Amino acid sequence: MAVYTPERSDHDRAAVREVLDRARAAGRTALTAPEGLALAQAYGIPVPGEALATSAEEAAALAQELGLPVVAKIVSPDILHKTDAGGVEVGLDSPEAVTAAYERIVANAQAYDADARIDGVQIQQMVGGGLEVLIGATTDPTFGKVVVFGLGGVLVEVLKDVAFRLAPLTREEALSQIGDIRTAEVLDGVRGAPAVDREALADVLVRLSDLVADFPEIAEADLNPVFASPDGAIAADLRFVLDFEPAEGPRKFSREEILESMERIFKPRSIAIIGASNEAGKIGNSVIRNIVDGGYEGEIHPVNPKAPEVYGRTAYASITDVPGDVDVAVFAIPAKFVAAALEDAGRKGVAGAILIPSGFAETGEHELQAEVLEVARRHGVRLLGPNIYGYYYTPQKLSATFCTPYDVAGGTALTSQSGGIGMAILGYSRSTRTGVSAIVGVGNKADIDEDDLLTFFGQDDNTNAVAMHLEDLKDGRAFVAAAREVVPKKPVIVLKAGRTSAGARAAGSHTGALAGDDKVYDDILRQAGVVRAPGLTELLEYGRALPVMAAPAGENIVIITGAGGSGVLLSDAVVDNGMSLYEIPPDLDEAFRAFIPPFGAAGNPVDITGGEPPSTYEKTIRLGLEDPRVHALVLGYWHTIVTPPLVFADVVIDVATKARAAGIDKPIVASLSGDTEVEAASAKLFDHGIVAYPYTTEMPVKVLGAKYRWARSAGLL
């Protein structure tokens, strides 16, 4: 297998720039095969030996020079899909076969597109004998340059078994990407086939990711097939699609700029309510009542040109009339008046404008929203919204919203793109008494979005977990950068709506077509260390439970249950959520057996049976906590009169409390089955840092699995 080997290890950017500039000057949006070869050579991507022939005789001579058999491919800047044009022939094993193939290929290309410019026919050394894989790159509208890996050839179209990563890649990320496809075991050899060289594949992925990151005008790249074998990897076919006028992305703010604005928005010394009203039922009345009655201790300034006083506070005709500085302006006026009022707020020097009104882009009024954003940019004001319910920040007793106030302070920050989901978050938090640091609506995201909020909450001492509902990301790269900063310190949980694909978009390559669905979000959020919630219930439960639970120190999980049936379901749930049951060694097995009845079952799960007294629960749980080889406990409780639910809860709390006092703090989750008393027992356990749920074996283990996913991403395991 002849492979191009670069003379030096660094990338030849000048050679790539020369090729791309030539294509730009010619007004082309795709590279020819020789041009693609030049890019591969410049970045050290292994390719077969090849050369361009401009006549049938030259093709035959080149074939003999390269070594038969060869592949012949049409070279035309106007024909992107060579196979569709009858422009590819393989297995040419004699000069005569090459000569005849040259004539056929040129004739086919002319018949396919009579106006196409034909530069010649590429004669390429034929390679094969390995496993075909796809390595490519595309420009995702959310995340920018992403790299794709999957099985190649026709399999990529049938199986769509691919994995995505943000470019540029580290070698570790590339190896992780290779192992992330569902059929990864094929790479290790099946039915006697040898394993491929994963390191060589990772090298190609890294080199291609460097290439597309260095040259943004490369919109799509296809290396398909890449032949992978025990001896290396070689790209047999290259395709590059160009875009010299990419869409302009959102404005980027530095971390310092974000934090300067967010500190004033979430910890304001002074707030103005534009549209504050004395009339019950109006949004402006609800907002000022919530801010005042919620206990906010800063200055509160109603703005209403028709009222001298609102809710006991002096009102001003304009925000410019308010004495002193104002940090935040909450807008509770119709959309058509917002731009003019924002001009005044900008002159006043506010840091943030909270735009509650609807009637902007969500109703088709894109120009009005753009006008408001232009005003904000001109004055250096950050916008939250429009079309939102407002925001809560409990450390400041701040309820800047027209919804019901919320005052249970805690460590979870919750955000939502949808107002309806925001109300679900509010109601859930109230019913479960979830302690929150913030609840924030982002609405249309004209300006402030999830990466701004994540940057703030990541360094906020009052926040120890961030849970976000979103329908899209305005700037996926900025979000990933923020998440990578935050994840090592605290969990970031995301519910991404719109998981189903509406169909792959039209694209000039396999890679582009494959990138049109939720898999890109899934893979890249995981690459960033984000815990993805499959639904609203999981988002809320993860946000509530993960801060409560201790971080695991290892992967060994033990189930202790009073019911064999729940033990089986809990075992299934452990495996389903990416964790592993500890294979209990003989000495620990014997220690458990000393505490359970003869008709119980040690092993894992440890089945103590349902009729045991509280002391059996106490001894087995204590043993599991004290043994350093056990890293997490899953408890299954069955309601009995011998050990009633609240008695069980007290036993678990007592054992866990004593263990923590002795420096042992392991994650414990519990599933309680029984009559309605198990609800109170579960709530009591939760209040003491033990994540417990009634009537379900799935949810406690899902939560534990989410904690493990975060711990792995944070580098704790």
Distant-in-sequence, close-in-space partners of 470: CB < 8 Å, separation ≥ 6: 415, 417, 442, 450, 494, 495, 496, 497
Structure tokens at 354: 């909270």
Is residue 687 within 8 A of residue 523, CB to CB? The reply is: no
Identify whether 613 is preceded by a cis peptide bond (ω within 30 of 0): no
Whole-angstrom distance between the N-terminal and C-terminal Cα of the chain? 41
DSSP string, 275-336: T--SSTTSHHHHHHHHHHHTT--SEEEEE-TT-SEETTEE-BSSGGGSSS--SEEEE-S-GG
pLDDT for the residue numbered 180: 95
User: Using an 8 Å Cβ cutoff, are 672 and 681 in contact?
Assistant: yes
Q: What is the C-alpha separation between 333 and 355, in angstroms, rounded?
A: 9
Nearest by Cα to 424 from 411, 437, 409, 414: 414
Q: Point out which residues pair with 672 in neighbouring strands.
A: 637, 694
Beta carbons within 10 angstroms of residue 27's beta carbon: 8
- From CA 330, how far away is CA 341, in angstroms rounded? 11
Give residue-wise pLDDT tens across range 325-350. 999 999 999 999 999 999 999 999 99
User: Taking all residues of the chain, what is their mean pLDDT, rounded to a whole number?
Assistant: 93
What are 471-499's pLDDT values in tens digits? 999 999 999 999 999 999 999 999 998 76
Q: Is the dihedral of CA 546, 549, 553, 556 positive or negative?
A: negative
d(Cα 95, Cα 214) in Å, to the nearest integer? 41
**Cα dist. 105→84, 583, 599, 699 in Å?**
11, 63, 78, 61
Q: Determine the pLDDT at residue 499.
A: 67
Residues with Cβ within 8 Å of 427's Cβ and at least 6 positions away in sequence, in order, are: none
216: which 2 tokens? 């943004």
Which pLDDT belongs to residue 518? Answer: 85
- CA separation for the pair 708, 717 (Å, rounded): 8
Q: Which amino acid, 397?
A: K
Both tokens of 454, joined, read: 């994540």
Question: Which pair of tokens denotes residue 143?
Answer: 């995340």
The residues, any chain, with a CB within 8 Å of residue 191's CB and separated by 6 or more, are none
Q: Exposed, middle or buried: residue 651 (CB in 10 Å: 0-12, 13-18, 19+)?
A: buried
Supply 464's token pair.
């120890």
Label each residue of 142-199 as H, E or C: CCEEEEEEEECCCHHHHHCCEEEEECCCCHHHHHHHHCCCCCHHHHHCCCCCCCCCHH
Are 247 and 217 a contacting pair, CB within 8 Å? no
CB distance 381 to 351 below 8 Å: yes
Residues in Cβ contact with 131 at an 8 Å cutoff, skipping those fewer than 6 apart? 151, 186, 187, 193, 196, 227, 228, 229
With residue 125 as reference, give the H or E element that holds it: strand 120-125
DSSP annotation string for 237-269: -EEEEE-SSPPP------HHHHHHHHHHHHS-S
Half-sphere exposure of 282 (CA within 13 A, CB side): 17
Q: Give the Å distances, CA to CA, from 352 to 250, 262, 284, 339.
A: 18, 8, 17, 14
Query: 13-25 vs 198-214: helix axis angle to the nearest 10?
Result: 50
| The pLDDT of residue 598 | 87
Q: Per residue in 296-326, pLDDT tens?
A: 999 999 999 999 999 999 999 999 999 999 9
**Can the peptide bond before residue 323 be classed as cis, meaning omega within 30 degrees of 0?**
no
**Could you give the CA distance from residue 520 to residue 531 in angstroms, rounded to a whole number?**
15
CA dist 556 and 575 (Å) reads 12
Q: What is the mean pLDDT of each run of 10 residues along the chain (717 residues)?
A: 44 96 95 93 95 95 94 92 92 95 96 94 89 94 95 66 95 96 90 91 97 97 94 93 90 96 98 97 97 96 97 97 98 98 98 97 96 98 97 97 89 93 89 93 96 98 96 94 97 87 39 60 95 95 95 97 92 96 96 90 89 95 98 96 96 98 97 96 96 97 98 95
Q: Exposed, middle or buried, 13 (CB in 10 Å: 0-12/13-18/19+)?
A: middle
CA-based max dimension of the chain: 98
CB 299 within 8 A of CB 350: no
Q: What pLDDT digit, counting tens, does each position of 686-710 carry?
A: 999 999 999 999 999 999 999 999 9
pTM of the model: 0.90
